[in-house]
Structure 1
Amino acid sequence: MTPNLSKIIVVLYQRIKTVFRERRRKRRYAVYWSGVLEVCFPDFQKQIKVTITDFSGSGIRLCTEQIYLDERRMIVSNPMPELNLKIFLPERATFESEITIRWYNWSVEKCVFEIGMKFDSLSEEKQSLIDNLIEELRCQQPQQLHDRIDSDLSDIP
């Protein structure tokens, strides 16, 4: 690779990295946990199975095949339902929390709805459990790809 081309690649990478930089307050960790989302409208309640795919200190991303319950939409409705999530943690007790929907989208690749949710009103005990989970995930997760790219590119003269 010519020196000019390598410099161009480095500059392009730095610009792309700036545009797509992580904006979340807390780092996400990839997980694959089962859960149940309890959706409570004033006159109707239902539980749906979900899969948690990302976990952070402030919330989760989950996947579900349905957002319509008894002709009601769990995402946008008036009034909004109360949401309670139970996560079945491997080798641990069940974690339960009230949550709020932050965003959602349809994943064409997975044929599921992906929903970003924020934990609400965490007790000290629940926050401590989250902190312990994050510490375990931090130790288990491999280095992120962009960290490796950064170190590889720093060696280019």
Structure 2
Amino acid sequence: MSIPTSTSVVESAVIKAPLSHVWHHIKLQNFSNFWSALNSSEFVKGTNDEADVVHWTFKDGTELDVKQEEHSTINHYITYSVITAKPNLTYTSVYSTIRCYAVTSGGLEGSTYVEWSGNFSSDADAGVIEDAKFKRRDALVDLAKVATKK
């Protein structure tokens, strides 16, 4: 019997670096420059130039082709979906969004608030959601390390 679960996850962090230093890294093809779980992230050759498909190879051997669905340099967010996976995913689909906001006042003024959400199809189980939560948390720690380097 499966355990009922939410099919979405949202993880966030305040990174003590200006928005421009953080946003600079939020390009699908550059994720391996900050995310320690990735070996490589590169454009898929032979795809339509407008498709923006990037191949991610994880250190555990997992491979994903992710497609940029939406991108705004004005509102500082990117949305992407997984279009192929090796090994195959145990669920039908997922859309993820990373949003960055400048912290403009208070004790953390000059920092960046980053939110990384994932919305999964209804066949994703609790294990998938937990895994997504911890991967996002780890990636946000990695992003902070890179963005705050002098």
What range is the shorter-chain TM-score in? 0.3 to 0.5
With the length of structure 2 as denominator, give the TM-score of the two structures: 0.32
Higher helix share: 1
With the length of structure 1 as denominator, give the TM-score of the two structures: 0.31
Q: Is the radius of gyration larger for structure 1 or structure 2?
A: 1
